Amino acid sequence: MANFSAKDVQQLRQSTGVGMLDAKKALEASDGDMDAATKWLREKGLASAAKRTDREASQGAVAVVREGNAIAMVEVRSETDFVAKSAEFVNFVNEVAAKVAAEGADAVGQFTEELEKMLLALRENIAFGRVERFEVGEGQHADAYLHLQDGRGVNGVVVVLDGGSEELAHEVAVHAAFSKPQFVTREAVPTAEVDAERETIETISRNEGKPEASLPKIVEGRLNGWFKERVLLEQSYVRDEKQTVAQLLGSASIAQFAQVVIGA
């Protein structure tokens, strides 16, 4: 009978950064002694992974996979683009995205051990980033766009529309990849953020010597410009700046939207 509990395994994992199997092996080899298990891991060169998990993972890759009515987008982060654009890394991200599309977002849990092995083998911090999965319902149309760089996805967009068409969803996805909106609608922008920007614009306008009576109109005009930069529906469509994305959509509407940009 083991002289350690699941809690001991978790504690050892947290303190050393190793995977579950390695933590169990270490505790078995040391008869449940935590200090001895830590030493065993260090001697095997495994505990050094703990240091790697503290380093920033600002690079990585994105994969987008469609399986029937489901679309999955998965981000896996790394420290360097050298690792992120390797065939092993790209294949791993694609494999995870395919599983998520087929089984659901929780499917990433099936890859925890494999990810930890990669962390040790590649000697840098690797971690799951955003995981998105959308199901396309009755009367909906969806498509995605994935911008590739050095063979890896670096900018992924998924758009699900109520109405419209798959081609229209693709156009919106391509536009968003270029414009990188922060919000889909004006209503989605946090009130505190809007209030702070309005106050800043008002101060700038006063400092410019704008007439006090004209300030409300000037502030609202500039605030509308601020929304246009950040809100997808209010942005000028990249292929025809005479119309907004909302006008491009016509009677269709955005039901679901997600974007992942590596390094953003």
Q: Which residue has the tokens 């409300």?
A: 216
Measured CA to CA, the distance from residue 218 to residue 206 in angstroms comes to: 10
- For residue 65, the Cα-to-chain-centroid distance in whole angstroms is 15
Q: What residues contact residue 150 under an 8 Å CB cut-off, 6+ apart?
A: 81, 85
User: If you classify domain 59-185+237-261 with CATH, what class do you get?
Assistant: alpha beta
Task: Indicate if the alpha-carbon torsion angle 251, 71, 134, 183 is positive or negative.
Answer: negative
Q: What is the rounded average pLDDT for all residues in the chain? A: 90
Domain 190-230 has CATH 1.10.286: yes
The closest alpha carbon to 260, from 177, 185, 184, 159, belongs to 177
208 pLDDT band, cuts 50/70/90, is confident
Q: Rg of the Cα trace of the chain?
A: 24
Average pLDDT over residues 160-177: 97
* pLDDT per position as a tens digit, 5-33: 888 887 887 777 777 888 888 899 888 88
The one-letter amino acid at 169 = A
Tell me what pLDDT residue 49 has: 52
Task: Determine the pLDDT at residue 237.
Answer: 97
Q: Is the pLDDT of residue 48 over 60?
A: no
CA dihedral 124, 20, 101, 81 (to 10 degrees): 0
Query: Domain map of the chain by residue range?
Result: 6-52, 59-185+237-261, 190-230
Superfamily for the 6-52 domain: Ubiquitin-associated (UBA) domain (1.10.8.10)
pTM of the entire predicted model: 0.76
